[in-house]
């Protein structure tokens, strides 16, 4: 017996997109009648032939998916990543039979449950209790299955006090928690999920992550889309990368995520300027950030260097250079300072190169840039300053601890030593 539970062979999905090409706001009556007459004839023919009815006087083909092929083993967890518009959600909708494919073949060997839009199937006038049974039935559960899981669902959603209240009176957070709880407690052969870990508050996201881990360890097959690369590398056995509707990578999640992130350059990691001969002042003429991965991508905990070149027409006494690592929201995180008394510098005219090494940069995953200050003390002088240079991104490709990867925990993860004793 084949262990393949999902087979996708040369899958393609085409959409027809309508465009209005008339740019002149002034039309004769004849032009208007002809234009609308042609559109009416085309829409009538499309309706008669069971085709999609398109608005606009010109129709363009758009292939959301093209020649997509892959297989999934029974019990495997597959992550699907890619930029916005790459075709991820369309793929899940086709696999869930919500959207009809245009070309190719799909074979699903098992019961499928999908959570593509949290809350789909909830009726606003019904209570939370009634919606649990309604949504469970829509997602394929028998009443006996829902009753067996009922207390667990309510406990997970934390809505016990409001079970008999119409869900239209729920807050958005309560609504999301209940919807996820119903879907997550199914026990299908194949579970298809689209970005559910991005909903709700941080505490609930942690709870969702824990539930998804239990699903992954239970031996059930799962496919899910996520923009959280730490979740992908931590939860999945394999990942595929979509780009413009095509599979461009298929393999171990860490390798696929690295390929995806390597194509997401955040800016130029090198700052350069020509020395101004008329200034007669020392200047920072070059800065380069050397990250652990290409395209300004840095792996959490790996060494990183910042190389600084300073050009000076004369020697500088008591020189000082410092820089800050700033978040994308302009908050300083790390401050680094070097004084001439610590590491001698600029004691002769000309070009000087300074290298600052971080043996293990433990910044929380995100986007950062550098801000520089350059001067001297005794007497105090300011020579140069740079801001928003050498942007880079920190990512975590090897999951260490779950609680590291939530923004409310902090920006820098310090490396410490623990000791324990009992008395």
SS3 53: coil
Whether the CB-CB separation of 352 and 250 falls below 8 Å is answered with no
Span 376-389, pLDDT tens digits: 887 888 899 999 99
* Structure confidence at residue 177 (pLDDT): 81
For residue 35, pLDDT beyond 70: no
Question: What b/e string do you get for 185-220 counting C-beta neighbours within 10 Å, with b at 16 or more?
Answer: bbebbbbbbbbbbebbeeebbbbbbebbeebbeeeb
Architecture of domain 270-409: Distorted Sandwich (2.70)
Q: Which residue has the higher pLDDT, 284 or 398?
A: 284
Beta strand residue intervals within 328-410, DSSP E: 332-339, 350-358, 366-376, 381-395
Contacts of 89 (CB under 8 A, 6+ apart): 116, 194, 225
For residue 187, pLDDT beyond 80: no
For the chain, give the percent of residues with pLDDT over 90.
29
Phi-psi region of 282 (alpha: psi -120 to 50; beta: other; left: phi over 0): beta
**Alpha-carbon 177 to chain mean position:** 21
251 CB neighbour count, 10 Å cutoff: 12
For residue 349, pLDDT beyond 70: yes
What is the distance between the alpha carbons of residues 198 and 204, in angstroms, rounded to a whole number? 10
* Structure confidence at residue 289 (pLDDT): 95
For residue 316, pLDDT beyond 60: yes
Whether the CB-CB separation of 197 and 212 falls below 8 Å is answered with yes
User: Which of 275-279, 281-285, 403-407 is predicted with the least confidence, judged by mean pLDDT?
Assistant: 403-407
What is the distance between the alpha carbons of residues 177 and 141, in angstroms, rounded to a whole number? 19
* Structure confidence at residue 405 (pLDDT): 58
For residue 202, pLDDT beyond 80: no
* Structure confidence at residue 209 (pLDDT): 73
Whether the CB-CB separation of 110 and 221 falls below 8 Å is answered with yes
Q: How far is CA 64 from CA 19, 56, 67, 189, 248, in A?
A: 17, 20, 10, 27, 14
* Structure confidence at residue 138 (pLDDT): 73
Q: What is the DSSP letter of 373?
A: E
* Structure confidence at residue 418 (pLDDT): 84
Name the residue ranges covered by the structural domains of the chain: 4-63, 73-262, 270-409
For 40, the enclosing helix (H) or strand (E) is helix 29-48
What is the distance between the alpha carbons of residues 151 and 318, in angstroms, rounded to a whole number? 70
* Structure confidence at residue 34 (pLDDT): 56
What is the distance between the alpha carbons of residues 319 and 378, in angstroms, rounded to a whole number? 9
Span 212-249, pLDDT tens digits: 777 777 778 888 888 777 778 878 889 999 998 999 99
Q: Mean of the pLDDT values across residues 362-375?
A: 90
For residue 341, pLDDT beyond 80: yes
For the chain, give the percent of residues with pLDDT over 70.
82
For the chain, what's the residue count? Answer: 423
Q: Mean of the pLDDT values across residues 124-146?
A: 84
Q: Which residue has the higher pLDDT, 180 or 421?
A: 421
For residue 303, pLDDT beyond 90: yes
Band (121; pLDDT cuts 50, 70, 90): low
Band (164; pLDDT cuts 50, 70, 90): very high
Q: Mean of the pLDDT values across residues 148-171?
A: 88
pTM: 0.68
* Structure confidence at residue 374 (pLDDT): 92
User: Which of 40-44, 233-237, 415-419 is predicted with the least confidence, judged by mean pLDDT?
Assistant: 40-44
Q: Options 3.40.50.300, 3.40.30.10, 3.90.550.10, 3.40.50.10190; which CATH number does 73-262 get?
A: 3.40.50.300
* Structure confidence at residue 38 (pLDDT): 62
For residue 43, pLDDT beyond 90: no
For residue 280, pLDDT beyond 70: yes
49 CB neighbour count, 10 Å cutoff: 7
SS3 341: coil
Q: Which residue has the higher pLDDT, 177 or 330?
A: 330
Q: Mean of the pLDDT values across residues 44-73?
A: 72
């Amino acid at each position: 017996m084949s262990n393949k539970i999902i087979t996708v062979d040369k899958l393609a999905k085409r959409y027809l997109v309508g465009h209005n090409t008339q740019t002149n706001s002034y039309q004769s009556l004849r032009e208007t009648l002809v234009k609308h007459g042609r559109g009416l004839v085309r829409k009538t023919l499309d309706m008669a032939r069971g085709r999609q009815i398109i608005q606009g006087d010109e129709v363009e083909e758009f292939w959301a998916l093209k020649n997509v092929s892959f297989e999934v083993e029974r019990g495997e967890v597959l992550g699907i990543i890619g930029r916005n518009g790459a075709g991820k959600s369309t793929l899940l909708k086709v696999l869930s039979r919500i959207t009809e494919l245009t070309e190719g073949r799909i074979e699903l060997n098992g019961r499928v449950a999908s959570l593509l839009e949290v809350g789909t199937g909830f009726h606003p006038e019904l209570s939370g209790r009634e919606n649990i049974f309604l949504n469970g039935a829509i997602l394929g559960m028998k009443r006996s299955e829902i009753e067996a899981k009922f207390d667990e669902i309510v406990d997970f959603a934390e809505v016990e006090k409001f079970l008999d209240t119409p869900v239209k009176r729920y807050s958005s957070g309560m609504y999301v928690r209940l919807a996820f709880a119903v879907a997550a407690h199914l026990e299908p052969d194949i579970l298809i999920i689209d970005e559910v870990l991005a909903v709700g508050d941080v505490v609930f996201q942690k709870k969702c992550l824990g539930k998804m881990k239990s699903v992954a360890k239970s031996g059930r097959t799962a496919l899910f889309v996520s923009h959280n690369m730490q979740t992908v590398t931590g939860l999945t056995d394999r990942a595929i990368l979509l780009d413009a509707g095509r599979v461009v990578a298929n393999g171990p999640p860490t390798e696929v995520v690295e390929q995806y992130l390597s194509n997401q350059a955040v800016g130029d990691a090198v700052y350069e300027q020509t020395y101004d001969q008329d200034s007669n002042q020392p200047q920072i003429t070059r800065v380069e950030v050397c990250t652990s991965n290409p395209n300004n991508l840095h792996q959490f905990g790996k060494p990183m260097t910042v190389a600084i070149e300073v050009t000076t027409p004369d020697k500088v006494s008591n020189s000082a250079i410092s820089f800050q690592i700033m978040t994308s929201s302009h908050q300083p995180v790390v401050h680094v300072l070097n004084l001439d008394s610590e590491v001698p510098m600029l004691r002769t005219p000309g070009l000087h190169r300074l290298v600052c090494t971080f043996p293990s940069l433990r910044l929380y995953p995100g986007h950062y840039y550098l801000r520089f200050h350059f001067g001297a003390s005794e007497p105090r002088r300011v020579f140069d300053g740079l801001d928003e240079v050498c942007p880079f991104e920190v990512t975590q490709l090897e999951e260490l601890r779950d609680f590291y990867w939530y923004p409310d925990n902090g920006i820098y993860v310090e490396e410490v030593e623990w000791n324990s004793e009992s008395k």
